[in-house]
Amino acid sequence: METALVLISYLLGSISTSVWIGKTFYNIDVREFGSGNAGATNTFRVLGNKAGIPVLFLDTLKGSIGVGLAYLSAYEPKSAEFINLQLGLGIAVLIGHIFPIFYGFRGGKGVATILGIVICILPLACSLSLLIFLAVFFSTRIVSLSAMMAGLSFPIFLNVMLGNTNPILTGFSVIVALILIITHRKNIQRIIKKEESKITFFSAKDK
């Protein structure tokens, strides 16, 4: 049962909403424009708010639904087995988003999907990290930098400020931070060179 749920979670993550919305409503594959990334940020950049907002919402939602599949198991909610399954499902849906089997394994960087995952498993630590994201974003308008700073703050909030003692959750929080750094390594280079693009809302594409 658990193996089947993990597979379903991966397949759910493999539904690239940015590619689907771009091709269906705009006849555009967002991976061929902008950063070449199949995520919400590049959708905002290439297609504007009308496409970017639904992609952001759906990518976040699929992370939450993937984790929520744990409720179909026989495990008692909030038990150690249930939480471990949630973590496994979260990793599966994230891998699906980054390496979608339906779209040639060319996916997004997982920021919105990670949000959907961790808000269900560790809502308080997630909310604190989200505040970091918003603070950095509204001061820089650089999504990649905001995501990385939020990711780096996540294990700090969880393990230092909130006093987590579960080694599995500690490992998960570190993995989340590492994934956000690894998937944004090209962005780091552009940030250092001061070439990273900024997100501007209500662009001409939305008029």
Mean pLDDT by 10 residues, the chain (207 residues): 94 96 94 90 91 95 97 93 95 96 92 95 96 95 94 96 92 94 92 86 50
Residue that is written with structure tokens 């179909």 in the block: 72
**Count of structural domains within the chain:** 1
pLDDT at 207: 42
Among the listed residues 27, 187, 19, the one whose alpha carbon sits nearest the alpha carbon of residue 104:
19
Give pLDDT, residue 198.
83
Half-sphere exposure of 71 (CA within 13 A, CB side): 7
H helices of 69-142, in order, are: 80-98, 111-121, 123-140
Angle between helices 40-47 and 17-26 (to 10 degrees): 20
Separation between Cα atoms, residue 167 and residue 170, nearest integer Å: 5
| CA dist., res. 11 & res. 143, Å (int) | 26
pTM of the model: 0.90
Enclosing domain of residue 66 = 2-206
Question: Tokens 């590619």 belong to which residue?
Answer: 19
